[in-house]
Structure 1
């Protein structure tokens, strides 16, 4: 009988890259019986792969935080899984309930939650620090109950007990975003690309300002493939001089993201120095590298180590639009060197920063928690090429 794994989220979309595309799809291909319980109005899901169990969402954030965990846990219990793996701090109380009912429970920490809360625009500033402290306490209590913690980066793992924590990093599926026949690099338009959620803390305002510092004859364009949080930021940026050089695509599927990358010359990831960014490992940095795009990245110590070791881009002060503009201009005006940087970044992904190796860690962690080794079974490993082929239906 197949081992039944239930993944739970009330915050992320059902087709979230880390949860669905990487973890659930990889587990399904490795032979697990996988269900993903997620809050969504959608009813049209892929006919094959992990089973999507939709739960009615709430549009109001406060209502969602109070009621969604109950709906998710009801659906989870109906699944009667061997192991439950949840992805939101809002579900920590639900995870404790599952554990008290005798289930095996894993908490997946995508962020350093207390630090993340300090940058939440929707929480009044005077409340952010006490809410952050409360979240830290909630995590500490919850982790005492749980069987294990999966951390998205080593710096996140440092916040949890070493003996019950596994680090499963968000590295790319090798060929998901690398088009088989991309436009030749030096024939591409001078397009600068940003992929992902757009917020003030992610430095997009400074990049838009940087576009106004570029010479007109450079004909550079800034493509944004992602949604704004909050939406008012879009209205604000539309008034900037640099916005006339922006191609705003809005939310894009993974296929559309791959197409954008295959037609761009520079990938930007210039997060501002918020507490939750300094030691972060942003997905988009590694995704640009996987598509052989040279990067312009924030000059944080960890990011500097990654970019300089790979030789894959330029580092800037993310709060300095002029410096960002100079880096973009150099990469566009020096296509031979820029292309070489992109290729070095791709080699670094192939050699080190790849999802299939992280998936091995996840499987072995599951095997440990499920006592597979004690039953004489070897820890499962991903099949060669199995989970790294990607599922381009997911976003």
Structure 2
């Protein structure tokens, strides 16, 4: 098959898009055209995909990116057997495009990969004026229900099913669990892997690192929202923590091996209540104990598999105390790491689900095209 993958929001090195889905498609021998904001993110496309550059959609200014995406879909969509859209904004580019494709008899299977609870995420965006948040939430819910009539849906979480009228296949956001056994967790380094924002606990990470120094150093990997960048830069400059900035997924994961603990300090926000934090599963997969706030799906993983400790929301002192407990109790540290890795290998490995993802796309291309109702 020829697959066109499109995003104007996500980083071109996004783990789910590039390192999981595109990698699974390439492994099966399919051709991939990948449209993403390469220039805006200063990224060179990987040599095994056809890279197509798009503007980046950020903050309130998304019109330029959407116009470019609409043009690209109209021109390159008919060259593909499957088009995968990774941003809800891209649904706005579809109405006229779908009609044109169908009129010309060249309509690819069109798929929306639902990464998050979009309506709940909008409430958290500081660039959305407060009076508009509830109306926008309602509008997004209506758009989602309309979208499921016209495109195929893939969901990243089982809990997302309740937003839609019909059941849709779930392709969970799982890491590739390395087959080689990782180094055992050491006593002096905690890590955080993922995007950084207030709601994701960026400021709590800084204070936790301050409380742990100098016995335990905290390493932070990820891009940051504008309102926390200065604080992270200052903390890195002052030696409170080491902020690596954004790193490609394969390089970022290399920093996990041998760490004392992996930190996930998400706040209590609607968008996080129904999503399994990918970083928690990545910590488990790489054999390090988890320290997490009590988001329901994270708590389920940690308590069911006994692979870490749960701390209260927005409580850096409790997070630091949990890291110290792991540091001073080698049996707890090593046991948590081993149990987490065993669970990841047996239940949470993208290697198994990636094949199902490709099978699903291949099956959809063989089904009759039509409006989905």
Instruction: Calculate the TM-score normalised by the size of structure 2.
Output: 0.88
* Aligned twin of 1:45: 45
* Aligned twin of 2:148: 143
* Aligned twin of 1:125: 130
CA gap of 1:183–1:354, structure 2 versus 1, over 3 A, is closer
Q: CA deviation at 1:73?
A: 3.0
Asked if 1:93 is matched to 2:82, the reply is: no
CA gap of 1:242–1:77, structure 2 versus 1, over 3 A, is closer
CA gap of 1:29–1:256, structure 2 versus 1, over 3 A, is closer
Aligned pair partner of 1:107 in 88, 99, 112: 112
RMSD, aligned α-carbons: 2.5
Q: CA deviation at 1:34?
A: 1.6
| Cα separation, 2, equivalents of 1:152 and 1:321 | 30
CA gap of 1:69–1:238, structure 2 versus 1, over 3 A, is closer
| Cα separation, 1, equivalents of 2:267 and 2:59 | 25
Q: Deviations over 1:152-203 (max 9, x none)?
A: 111123312334x21000111122xx7x575543xx3511111111101001
Asked if 1:36 is matched to 2:53, the reply is: no
Q: For 2:84, what is the secondary structure of its paired residue? A: strand
**Count of aligned pairs between the two proteins:** 358
* Aligned twin of 1:220: 216
* Aligned twin of 1:347: 342
* Aligned twin of 2:12: 14
- 1:153-192 to structure 2, matched below 5 A, reads 153-163=157-167, 165-175=168-178, 180=180, 183-185=183-185, 188-192=186-190
* Aligned twin of 2:299: 304
| Cα separation, 2, equivalents of 1:60 and 1:354 | 32
Range with bigger deviation, 360-369 or 3-12: 360-369
* Aligned twin of 2:81: 82
* Aligned twin of 2:371: none
Q: For 1:84, what is the secondary structure of its paired residue? A: strand
* Aligned twin of 1:278: 273
Q: For 1:332, what is the secondary structure of its paired residue? A: helix
- 1:242-261 to structure 2, matched below 5 A, reads 244-261=239-256
5+ residue gaps in structure 1? 375-395
| Cα separation, 2, equivalents of 1:240 and 1:88 | 33
| Cα separation, 2, equivalents of 1:213 and 1:52 | 44
* Aligned twin of 1:358: 353
Q: CA deviation at 1:14?
A: 1.8
Range with bigger deviation, 249-258 or 39-48: 39-48
Aligned pair partner of 2:317 in 305, 316, 322: 322
| Cα separation, 2, equivalents of 1:343 and 1:256 | 23
| Cα separation, 2, equivalents of 1:244 and 1:39 | 33
* Aligned twin of 1:66: 63
Aligned pair partner of 1:370 in 356, 365, 370: 365
CA gap of 1:285–1:58, structure 2 versus 1, over 3 A, is closer
C-alpha contact (below 8 Å) 2:144/2:164 kept by paired residues: no
CA gap of 1:283–1:81, structure 2 versus 1, over 3 A, is same
Q: CA deviation at 1:237?
A: 5.4
Instruction: Calculate the TM-score normalised by the size of structure 1.
Output: 0.83
CA gap of 1:276–1:130, structure 2 versus 1, over 3 A, is same
| Cα separation, 2, equivalents of 1:247 and 1:31 | 40
5+ residue gaps in structure 2? 369-373
C-alpha contact (below 8 Å) 1:8/1:87 kept by paired residues: yes
Q: For 1:13, what is the secondary structure of its paired residue? A: coil
C-alpha contact (below 8 Å) 1:9/1:88 kept by paired residues: yes
CA gap of 1:73–1:238, structure 2 versus 1, over 3 A, is closer
Range with bigger deviation, 96-105 or 128-137: 96-105
Q: For 1:171, what is the secondary structure of its paired residue? A: coil
Q: CA deviation at 1:129?
A: 1.8
Range with bigger deviation, 235-244 or 87-96: 235-244
Q: CA deviation at 1:240?
A: 7.5
| Cα separation, 1, equivalents of 2:181 and 2:175 | 19
